[in-house]
Amino acid sequence: MTVKKFRLKANEIKDLKISLGACFATDKITVEGKKVNFMYRQKSDNAQDSGWRFFSGEESEEYTNDPNNTSIFDVNTIANYDSSIIPFLDSSSGSVFERNQKTGQLSQIFDFKFPE
């Protein structure tokens, strides 16, 4: 098993958006330091799950399906990696946001098909 070298150390994580629960994020964000370019909130899998899923937008389906490339984090941790997501974190289940590569802004999209 390979030990991941995360971009942020535990002592660098500040309380930016607490009490939302756990989320799924890829190593493109937490290891490689890419911005969150795509995020969605699905129905929670359990009481600890916020339903949030975070991606850089560079992940292939094969990459995402490999459990070695993803981890579960507190949502606050991902907010520390990319604080531009904070204004959207109270959005309801079913919300989807994508970063406009020209403006750099996240905006809601409506044509995403949620995974089964």
pLDDT in tens, 37-74: 999 999 998 999 999 999 999 999 999 999 999 999 99
For the question of whether the overall pTM of this predicted structure is more than 0.75, the answer is yes
Rounded to 5 degrees, φ, ψ at 107 are -145, 155
Q: CA-CA distance, 32 to 8, in Å (whole number)?
A: 10
Distance between CA atoms of residues 35 and 40, nearest Å: 15
Residue 34 pLDDT level (bands cut at 50, 70, 90): very high
Which two structure tokens, joined as six digits, stand for 80? 């520390």
Question: Is the separation of the CB atoms in 20 and 76 below 8 Å?
Answer: yes
Q: Which of 86, 87, 67, 58 is nearest to 24 (CA)?
A: 67
Q: What is residue 1's predicted lDDT score, i.e. its pLDDT?
A: 61
Instruction: Confirm if 29 and 4 have CB atoms less than 8 A apart.
Output: no
**pLDDT, mean of residues 4-26:** 96
Nearest to 73 by CA among 1, 4, 2, 61: 4
3-state helix, strand, coil in the chain (%, to 5): 25, 25, 50
- The rounded distance, in Å, linking the Cα atoms of 18 and 65 is 28
